[in-house]
Amino acid sequence: MRPGAVQHDTSFESLPAYQEILMDRRIGPALGFTNPYYRLHEARAGVTTTIDGRELLNFASYDYLALNGHPEVIAAHREAADRYGTSVSASRITAGERLVHRDLEAALAELYQADDGALFVSGHATAASIIETILGPKDLLIHDSLIHNCVVVGAKGARCQRKSFRHNDLDDLESYLTLTRHLFDRVLIVSEGLFSMDGDGPDLFRLVEIKERFQAWLMMDEAHALGVIGATGKGIAEHAGLDPQRVDIWFGTLSKALVGCGGYVCGCQALIDILKARAPGLVYSVGMPAPVAAASLKALEIMRREPQRVAVLQANGAHFAAGARARGLDIGTSWGFGVTPVILGTDIRTFRLAQDLEQHGVYVFPVIAPGVPQGSSRVRFFLSAAHDTAQIDAALDAVVTLLDRQ
Ligand SMILES: Cc1ncc(COP(=O)(O)O)c(C=O)c1O
């Protein structure tokens, strides 16, 4: 060290994030909470899961159509592994593709009546990559205030302007665009088909009308909408009765209803061509393992073949939402499909309820800020086509009993 030189702390322990983590680790046990993060599940998490040797009724996994572990999905996965191995061992642009990549992209594109589709190895990286590829410093990204983190990260990479409008408040979106549209070259509006924390969605017709009038693009995140809403699970366009071609970018994940891992984008040929040539998460990242693509392709095929799965999921979602409301629980603006929160407000009530429910044999996950706005902490229930109404009623009764005791 030179005499008089400024000293720099190179320890990771000095980072503010680490100090916050240490604080949480002290506070949780002091309040009697066990750490709810990174729990070890000892078997497949379906309608039930096993933690610490105990079987629990599970409402914390987004296996909406109950296809995780389905024999046909497992068989498709196994066949692809036998044929192609477990990795494609480089990015598809260099190491080439496997037929199953193309088949899955074509099946997804057909679902959205789009020209083409592209797969990414991560859902999060899909959105981030799309945004950083198509937007730049002269552009605006405007999104619903409850949008997923992957969109915010994309805006950072694009170095575009970023603004949010109040949740599902399209008057707010319209006012902002009226005032500012002329300041930007390109504008991308982003919303979700079904919001992952609140279980509601936007007025898609009005969103499309606004994006057309203001000459913007619209990207819809279908992560929690595919397989969940619309009469046959085709998502928000089917739910709203809108021609999917009126939306510029359909983006979603394979990790929910399609029981795989990774993300997809569907749209016009030029968009997909650009992404396949430039999107960092595609060009500079390994291709999706063929077994994963095969599993999701099979799950999509089953979803199309067995629309009753979607119908049962929707009936379960409606039963949960109606039952929660009837018991006086605050479920916010949930539409009552695959995800519905029970909003408790404070972190302490939320952690306590999640922990008490687990002791009672029901596993749900507590969600606090920054995952949701401060003051709206909640336990979030994911429904599946494999739950039955007795299980849903038992979980709701447990919530009411345990909240009464708090
Ligand atoms: C709304 C939404 N979009 C994107 C993602 C990212 O998807 P993945 O987890 O498949 O990377 C998630 C993940 O939970 C999500 O909830």
* Closest Cα to atom 8 of ligand 1: 123
Q: Is 358 in the pocket of ligand 1 (CB under 6 A)?
A: no
Residue 41 exposed, middle or buried by CB count within 10 Å (0-12, 13-18, 19+): middle
Which residue from 115, 75, 147, 117 is spatially nearest to 288, judged by alpha carbons?
117
Report how far ligand 1's centroid is from the alpha carbon of 124 (Å).
6
Q: Is 223 in the pocket of ligand 1 (CB under 6 A)?
A: yes
Which residue from 209, 217, 199 is spatially nearest to 146, judged by alpha carbons?
199
pLDDT for the residue 1: 62
pLDDT for the residue 81: 98
Q: Is 192 in the pocket of ligand 1 (CB under 6 A)?
A: yes
Q: Is 225 in the pocket of ligand 1 (CB under 6 A)?
A: no
Report how far ligand 1's centroid is from the alpha carbon of 6 (Å).
42
In the chain, the domains with their CATH numbers are 20-58+307-405 (3.90.1150.10), 71-305 (3.40.640.10)
Query: Which amino acid, 52?
Result: D
- Mean pLDDT in order along the chain per 10 residues (406 residues): 82 94 90 91 94 97 97 98 95 91 98 98 98 98 97 98 98 98 98 97 98 98 98 98 98 98 98 97 95 98 98 98 98 98 96 97 95 95 98 98 95
Residue 248 sits at the vertex; the CA angle it makes with 243 and 254, to the nearest 5 degrees, is: 90
CB atoms within 10 A of CB 184: 18
Pocket test for ligand 1, best of 253, 292, 339, 367 (most atoms within 8 A of CB): 253
Report how far ligand 1's centroid is from the alpha carbon of 359 (Å).
29
Cα(283)–Cα(121) distance, rounded to whole angstroms?
11
Q: Is 122 in the pocket of ligand 1 (CB under 6 A)?
A: yes
pLDDT for the residue 406: 87
Report how far ligand 1's centroid is from the alpha carbon of 125 (Å).
9
For 175-198, the DSSP string reads: HHHHHHGGG-S-EEEEEESS-TTT
* Contact between 343 and 376 (Cβ < 8 Å): yes
Cα(22)–Cα(27) distance, rounded to whole angstroms?
9
Q: For 178-193, what is each residue's pLDDT tens digit?
A: 999 999 999 999 999 9
Residue 93's region, left for phi above 0, alpha for psi from -120 to 50, else beta, is alpha
